[in-house]
Amino acid sequence: MDTTHSRMVFDQWQLEQGRLSTEEPVTITGNDLELGNVINVACRGTPFRLSDDYKVRSRVENSVDYLELQLAKGRIIYGVNTGFGGSADARTHKLERLQSAAIQHLNVGILLEMDKNRVDKFANKLLRSHALPPPIVRAAMLIRCNSLLRGHSGVRFSIIESIARLAAHDMTPMVPLRGSISASGDLSTLSYIAGAIEGNPDVYLELPGGEVAPASEVLSAQGWEPVRFQAKEGLGITNGTAPSCAAACLALYEANRLAFLAQVLTAMGTEALDGTAHNYHPFISITRPHAGQSEAAANILRFLKHSKLSKDRGPDRAGLAQDRYALRTAPQWIGPQLEDLLLATRQIATELNSTTDNPLIDVANDRIHHGGNFQAAAVTSAMEKTMVALQNLGRLLFAQCSELINNATSNGLPPNLCFDDPSESFTFKGFDVNMAAYMAELAYLAHPMSTHVQVAEMANQSVNSMALAMARYVLEAVEVLSMMAATYIYALCQAVQLRVLQKLFHQTIPSLIREACFSYFGGSGATASPPGLSAPVEELITAISKRWDELAHVDHSSRCFIVVRDCLGRFVDNIASVPGCSQVTVPQLKEFQSKLSFELDACGNTLKARVRDEKNLCEEYLAPVTAVLYRYVRRGLGIPLNQGVSDHPPLVLREMIENKNSKRCEGSKEAKIGDISKISIGGEKTEMDNAEDSNMNSDTSRACVSETSPGCSNDSRLLVMGSQASKIYEAIRAGVLVDKVMEYCAAEGFWD
């Protein structure tokens, strides 16, 4: 392959960042439009302009002149002096009127009154907008202008300028969402852009402030003359794949970033699941040298560099000798998706700088070609590969997240990733169900569109690509996969804190157990050990550590008691032959069991407080790359560790109100001391006292509710967990989260 997938994503990111930093418009020539520039124009508000290069303008005008010359010679040219499609057997000399007929019969899409910013007397609250999203329309305007500049369409430069002028003034035509089969191009879709520049009173423009107005009124208000299409120009604008390509660009851009993010999340998942970095060893990919697999393995391994949670361990570790498939085969699973996405990106990059018109004007060779470049099957092919890639990436994240939440597969983490006792807190259980719902929907979406095409238009369009519809569904898949990624990220941040807690506990308890054993059975002090006691103590430490992880589903205090109880029998057998320990009585053992259980309990609670309160603690355990993601979630988005049922917003709010009331009441009592006028005989309150207390409580309650409501408080504990995941989702969709990782990787020279 010419490049790796991650390098391609990085190059697109650099292009996007560079354009945003300079605020320079995108200049189009017909030959060098890049996907990153499409994203900037469509989503970032970057303007575009037509090249003022003489060669660009001359080839456009040369095609117009050549067309006029051929018409003067009496040539029959499809769509210029013939009917359209299956009606191409018709002939006419009314060339301009024919172009109006072209636009008229294509302005047939369904838009709602609410899309046009009107009151709908038949309003149905179930209806979603039937308009194509404005970013897709803006991208389509850019791409169609770029294609027309290639000089194969016979469309005047001034007509192309009219489209670019709308975009320059941030005016976007309202275009129907559905109705294109993308196989004589996106005819109906593009006809609304054509209708906008010809001042159609029933074609609407969305203006910079969000208002919607008829094109005729907008053009008049701006002092712009509506265009009058000459020979072929109506067909030249509408007969192209620009809307399909535009939607594909946006979908592919998001998909590529999600594929990159999936590798970062797999690295973080390896840390959270106590997996081994050996899964991604280069030798494994050398022996099966698929480019995508090799890249995915190298990326994940690099993302894990310097991690304290994931080491290059072999099968001699306790428990499963190797990680489950969701981690161990991640490179083999992700790799083909990267290869498909690379190919899809190349296909769309080619489409961006192609002429997708018919007929084509070949001035250099003195010929007009009647062909089928409008058939957007290449775009459909790219989108179907992208869709399958998204589904497969989602399946991987779903599997990893399921392992994380299930204590039977999470290598010692508590069930549902609860921070408090499992008997009363089911923290991430709902997310586990949500992930299944997301995955089912994503899998449902992941069906090809090309297998469902229908014969259209007098059987003339007997095969058609449905590329625009396919791209729209890929954008829906992007939406669903982004929800899955957001949910998984939230779970990962919770899980790594629990994993650090587990690691700290295992690091701390050996000395605690030794001290307890030596002081109880061998005299005073942790070093006062009778000969022969050390080996049984070390075996007890190993047994307690193992049993501790097995009982992750048990409440903390009970877990401490059960662990010690279950491991003490073997310890007693082992110390029976140790001098000074053979006469230990049952009451003494019970006392020791109680003492050690208490110390484990106290140790666990102390460590919990550390993990909860020390901001940098977990970051020190994570690899630098995954720490970027963790830090942004915890600090950038302000999403804290979920402490369990105590973080349920109504309980948090109740606690805050009670605390505030308690402080107010204490202050009020101090102020009232010595105020005889407010104390009645016998200590009973006067009516004035009751009224004042009532007002204080009422005001306090209102103040507390106001100050602690989610709309006016920075306390993230007042947000339901779904809202926390929503914040991550929006950060993914806004590009901020991936940008943070990209910035770090760029600074570290990942692609140098």
Antiparallel, parallel or unpaired: β 367-369 and 48-50 = unpaired
207 Rama class: left (phi>0) / alpha (psi -120 to 50) / beta: beta
> What's the half-sphere exposure (Cβ side, CA atoms, 13 Å) at 363?
17
| Alpha-carbon gap, residue 443 to 300, rounded angstroms | 25
Q: Which of 359, 383, 385, 31 is nearest to 184 (CA)?
A: 359
Q: What is the maximal distance between C-alpha atoms in the chain?
A: 119
DSSP 539-552: HHHHHHHHHHHHTT
**Kind plus residue range of the DSSP H or E element containing 369:** strand 367-369
- Look up 78 and say whether it is catalytic: yes
Strands (E), 35-166: 48-50
Tokens 């509506």, residue located: 226
**For 636-658, what is the HEC assignment?**
HCCCCCCCCHHHCHHHHHHHHHH
How many angstroms separate the CA atoms of 425 and 420, rounded? Answer: 7
Which of 54, 66, 78, 204 is an active site residue? 78
The three-state (H, E, C) secondary structure of 478-531, written as one string:
HHHHHHHHHHHHHHHHHHHHHHHHHHHHHHHHHHHHHHHHHHHHCCCCCCCCCC
Rg, Å, the chain Cα set = 34
- Name the token pair of 218: 């907008």
* Per-residue H/E/C for 390-439: HHHHHHHHHHHHHHHHCCCCCCCCCHHHCCCCCCCCCCCHHHHHHHHHHH
| DSSP-derived pairing of the beta strands 48-50 and 26-28 | parallel
Tokens found for residue 443: 């899998």
Question: How far is it, in rounded angstroms, from Cα 67 to Cα 78?
Answer: 12
Q: How far apart are CA 577 and CA 567, in angstroms?
A: 18
Q: Which 3-state string (H, E, C) describes 300-365? A: HHHHCCCCCCCCCCCCCCCCCCCCCHHHHCHHHHHHHHHHHHHHHHHHHHHHHCCCCCCCEEECCC
Strands 212-214 and 360-362: unpaired
First to last CA, the chain: 18
- As a whole number of angstroms, the distance between CA 541 and CA 108 comes to 76
Angle subtended by helix axes 242-272 and 736-747, to nearest 10? 70
Let me know: does 471 contact 589? Beta carbons within 8 Å.
no
Q: What is the DSSP letter of 86?
A: G
Q: Residue for token digits 């990893």?
A: 400
Beta-bridge mates of residue 369: 360
Q: Are 465 and 375 in contact (CB under 8 A)?
A: yes
Closest CA to 541 of 512, 520, 575, 502: 512
Q: What does the buried/exposed string (b/e) look like for 188-227 if buried means 16 or more CB atoms within 10 Å of the residue's CB?
A: bbbbbbbbbbbbbeebbbbbeeeebebbbebbeeeebeeb
Q: Residue 481 and residue 391: Cα distance in Å, rounded?
A: 8
**The tokens of 491 are what?**
């779970």
* Catalytic residue positions, numbered: 78
